[in-house]
Amino acid sequence: MNWVDILVLVILVIAGYKGFKSGLVRMGVFLVVMGIGLALSSRLTQPISNLLPSMSENDRVQSLIVFLVLIIALIIGAEIINRVLVTIIKFVPLGGLANNLAGTAIGLIVGLVIMSALLAGMQKFPFGSIQEDIASSSTGSFLADNFDTVIRGFKLIPSDWDQDIKNRMGTLPAQTIFLGRTEY
């Protein structure tokens, strides 16, 4: 067990506790809204940005503004749904305890997704001995190696992003400076 395994364990304990305190309704609605939000925002940002009058000379800034507005609107909608559902659950016998226990499960799932994303990012942009540390960790290597499968499986990221990233990478100069070091 190395520091990566300990980090995964700590994040899972924190996420499970947060899930218990928040409950299934709040965690479930948050998870669904973030999944839908990422999927919708990634697909709708550019078309909506093109329909609006120019807010900025830079198209990327305008797209970022539209993306953030969509995410904020979804979060506000999720909070309204949460308040209504939590009020209803309070009237169901043992609804509160069942809500909290199920929230723990959702919290653990959220923790796994967060750690998968973090570890996959660390593998793609390595520093120090991070790749060896993740590879020697039983939980870290599993989460990092399977993150892409989870994201693609739920279709949270459009498949055309891969091609867009490859096209952009092809336009970079042969020598790139990344985090203070020169790479070829």
Distances (CA, A) of 73 to 67, 70, 76, 120, 156: 10, 5, 5, 29, 18
Residue 36 is classified by DSSP as H
Contact call for residues 42 and 161 (beta carbons, < 8 A): yes
Q: According to the model, what pLDDT value does residue 15 have?
A: 92
pLDDT band of residue 156 (cuts 50, 70, 90) is low
Q: What is the pLDDT of residues 29-83, one digit of tens each?
A: 877 887 777 777 777 777 777 777 776 677 667 777 777 788 788 888 888 988 8
Of 51-60, 99-108, 114-123, 161-170, the range with the highest mean pLDDT is: 99-108
Longest dimension (CA), the chain: 65
Q: According to the model, what pLDDT value does residue 141 have?
A: 82
Residue 130 is classified by DSSP as H
User: How far is it, in rounded angstroms, from Cα 120 to Cα 39?
Assistant: 20
Contact call for residues 143 and 119 (beta carbons, < 8 A): yes
Half-sphere exposure of 36 toward its Cβ, with a 13 Å CA cutoff? Answer: 13
pTM for the full predicted model: 0.57
Of 17-21, 53-57, 137-141, the range with the highest mean pLDDT is: 17-21
Q: According to the model, what pLDDT value does residue 165 have?
A: 57
Instruction: Give the pLDDT mean for 8-27.
Output: 90
- Three-state secondary structure call for residue 178: strand
User: How far is it, in rounded angstroms, from Cα 124 to Cα 119?
Assistant: 9
pLDDT band of residue 23 (cuts 50, 70, 90) is confident
pLDDT band of residue 184 (cuts 50, 70, 90) is very low
Rg (CA), the chain: 20
Distances (CA, A) of 83 to 29, 36, 76, 117: 11, 19, 11, 29
